[in-house]
């Protein structure tokens, strides 16, 4: 195989895939040598040759169920390997698409499938580790990473420290040896590259440790990692009551809500209301809810979806008819106005002594929702900067922090949708997608036997959670 690698090294040099000069790598390092394998798509025979040689590194081919190329350079290489080996291929998107299925991993696969990752160049190993994380979130088993070039700057160690076996066709040292032997580079060039490698390691990257996997940890353990005091309280409450049910009492009469809460209170973790749709709102109604919440140990959430500038939301939260800050343990917030909205809400709490928290609306369950892409990413960043944030309202496992709570709406025992674009998922489906707290509304409020349905949802959701962490 060494003879093939020597010839291949020369061919890569001749087509301009190996460049010398002054460059910046993906991880921000200056480098005197740059490997640009994107050019090989213009040379089909070379592309096919490099794919064939790379696949020779694979172990136990008959035990490999899937091949996944890291976008984008490795995708055509992975495609050729898939075609030649007749092993299915997966595509990992750089971000989930904002329409259709919104999948991050494309292809047909089953939980537990053994997957081999194909990559062109490894510096820090971050691209492979990000791909591993996304594949593991789909319950795929990553067995190895096959790489064309190991730049010898720490990437192999980062990958193998994360439990992933890595094999490469070349190390930078061996590539330089082959090119010098072929008369393509001088001794000074070789010495310069080797000196650079000895002095410059890429930043360390590792996967989240298994013990800090949010979906595998129990609520009590996670409560100790929460920055928000009320997030810790909520996680402890769910553990104590053995419930992840958030009841959406989207009713318009105060007495109807109170009567429902008297039934459901012992079985729920959170009561969610829309105070501005209650036609006969009064302070006595709030007092009754607070008494019931203390008696049955649940939190009250006002699903206000604040979304204005800081000064306005501060007034909306603390003033007016409803004085939400005085009684709502939790509120929901659209982060569209930016970080200033968090400052405004915090300002409204300066005279409130009880713990308060907010859920950021990071994704929505309605068809065609615009909460995707960079909007979602920036919302995740906002959550890490404030001790007010309890968690995210979202549809999928899009964050790692085990001290935050995923609140997922749109839950029904039978998956369906309504005439207004609301999409529903089953209890098991939302829990497996990361939900810690699941919102159930019409599945309970429109039921003939409401208490029976409350208990039914509670039990199904809790069983799904226990199965998830086990």
Set 36, 213, 239, 308: catalytic member? 308
**How far is it, in rounded angstroms, from Cα 302 to Cα 317?**
10
Q: How far is CA 9 from the centre of its chain?
A: 38
Q: What is the pTM of this model?
A: 0.60
**pLDDT score, position 388:** 95
Residue 422 annotated in ligand binding? yes
Per-residue pLDDT of the chain (470 residues; tens, 9 = 90+): 899 999 999 999 999 999 999 887 766 678 999 999 999 999 999 999 999 999 999 999 999 999 999 988 999 999 999 999 999 999 998 665 544 555 789 999 998 999 999 999 999 898 898 899 889 888 899 999 999 999 999 899 989 988 899 999 999 999 999 999 999 999 999 999 999 998 887 765 555 544 458 899 999 999 999 999 999 999 999 999 999 999 999 999 999 999 999 999 999 999 999 999 999 999 999 999 999 999 999 999 999 999 999 999 999 999 999 999 999 999 999 999 988 999 999 999 999 999 999 999 998 767 777 877 778 878 888 888 788 999 999 988 888 899 999 999 988 876 554 444 444 578 888 998 899 999 999 999 999 999 999 999 999 999 999 999 98
Structure tokens at 283: 């302070």
d(CA 30, CA 36): 15
| Catalytic option among 120, 303, 329, 436 | 303
Annotated ligand binding at 441? The verdict is: yes
CA distance 456 to 448: 13
126 is in an annotated binding site: no
Question: Could you tell me if 228 and 387 are in contact, meaning their C-beta atoms sit under 8 angstroms apart?
Answer: yes
CB 25 within 8 A of CB 123: yes
Q: What is the pLDDT of residues 176-199, one digit of tens each?
A: 999 999 999 999 999 999 999 988
Distances (CA, A) of 232 to 98, 302, 402, 429: 32, 19, 11, 25
pLDDT at position 464 is: 94
CA 46 to chain centre: 37
Catalytic residue among 305, 346, 387, 450: 305
Q: What share of the chain is helix, strand, coil (3-state, %, to 5)?
A: 45, 20, 35
| pLDDT one-digit tens code per residue, 394-431 | 988 888 899 999 999 988 876 554 444 444 578 888 99
pLDDT at 94: 67
> Is 165 a known ligand-binding residue?
no
100 belongs to an annotated ligand binding site: no
Give φ, ψ of 432 to 5 degrees: -70, -20
Nearest to 14 by CA among 188, 183, 193: 183
Residue 58 tokens read as 């694979």
**Closest by Cα among 254, 301, 246, 300 to 277:** 254
Q: Any catalytic annotation for residue 412?
A: no
Structure confidence at residue 453 (pLDDT): 96
Pair of tokens at residue 151: 């730049």
* Residue 406: both structure tokens together: 């995923």
What does the pLDDT read at residue 298? 98
The answer to whether 318 and 325 are in contact (CB under 8 A) is: yes
76 three-state secondary structure: helix
Q: Which two tokens stand for residue 308?
A: 């204005």
Is 436 known to sit in a ligand binding site? no
Is residue 61 helix, strand or coil? helix
Catalytic residue check, 303: yes
**Given this model, what pLDDT does residue 24 score?**
79
E-assigned strands of 86-159? 89-92, 105-106, 114-122, 141-150
pLDDT of residue 96: 54
Residue whose token pair is 């929702």: 369
Active site includes 308? yes
**Residue 131: partners with Cβ closer than 8 Å, 6 or more residues away:** 68, 70, 92, 117
């Amino acid at each position: 195989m060494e003879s093939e690698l020597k010839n291949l090294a020369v061919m890569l040099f001749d087509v301009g895939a190996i460049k010398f000069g002054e460059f910046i790598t993906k991880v921000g390092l200056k480098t005197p040598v740059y490997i640009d394998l994107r050019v090989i798509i213009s040379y089909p025979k070379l592309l096919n040759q490099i794919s064939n040689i790379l696949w020779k590194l694979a172990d136990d081919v008959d035990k490999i169920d899937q091949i996944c190329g890291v976008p984008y350079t490795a995708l055509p290489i992975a495609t050729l390997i898939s075609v030649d080996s007749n092993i299915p291929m997966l595509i990992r998107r750089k971000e989930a698409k904002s329409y259709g299925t919104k999948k991050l991993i494309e292809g047909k696969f089953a939980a537990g499938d053994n997957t081999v990752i194909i990559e062109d160049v490894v510096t820090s190993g971050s691209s492979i580790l990000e791909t591993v994380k996304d594949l593991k979130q789909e319950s795929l088993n990553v067995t190895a990473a096959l790489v064309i070039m190991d730049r010898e700057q720490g990437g192999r160690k980062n990958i193998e420290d994360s439990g992933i076996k890595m094999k490469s066709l070349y190390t930078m040292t061996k590539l330089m040896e082959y090119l010098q032997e072929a008369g393509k580079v001088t001794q000074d060039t070789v010495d310069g590259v080797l000196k650079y490698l000895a002095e410059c390691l890429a930043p360390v990257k590792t996967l989240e440790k298994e013990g800090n996997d949010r979906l595998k940890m129990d609520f009590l353990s996670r409560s100790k990692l929460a920055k928000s005091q009320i997030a810790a309280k909520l996680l402890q409450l769910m553990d104590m009551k053995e419930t992840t049910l958030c009841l959406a009492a989207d009713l318009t009469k105060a007495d109807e809500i109170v009567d429902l809460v008297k039934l459901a209170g012992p079985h729920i973790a959170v009561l969610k209301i829309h105070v501005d749709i209650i036609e006969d709102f009064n302070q006595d109604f709030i007092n009754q809810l607070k008494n019931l919440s203390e008696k049955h140990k649940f939190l009250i959430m006002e699903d206000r979806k604040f979304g204005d500038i800081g000064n306005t939301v501060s007034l909306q939260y603390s003033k007016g008819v409803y004085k939400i800050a005085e009684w709502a343990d939790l509120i929901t917030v659209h982060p569209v106005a930016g970080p200033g909205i968090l400052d405004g809400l915090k300002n409204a709490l300066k005279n409130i002594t009880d713990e308060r928290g907010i859920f950021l609306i990071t994704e929505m369950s309605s068809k065609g929702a615009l909460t995707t892409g960079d909007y979602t990413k920036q919302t995740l960043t906002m959550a890490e900067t404030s001790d007010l944030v309890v968690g995210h309202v979202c549809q999928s496992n899009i964050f790692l922090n085990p001290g935050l709570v995923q609140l997922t709406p749109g839950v029904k025992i039978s998956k369906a949708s309504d005439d207004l674009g609301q999409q529903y998922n089953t209890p098991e489906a939302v829990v497996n997608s990361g939900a810690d707290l699941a919102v159930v509304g019409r599945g309970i409020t429109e039921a003939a036997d409401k208490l029976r349905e409350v208990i039914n949802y509670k039990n199904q959701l809790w069983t799904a959670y226990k199965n998830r962490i086990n």
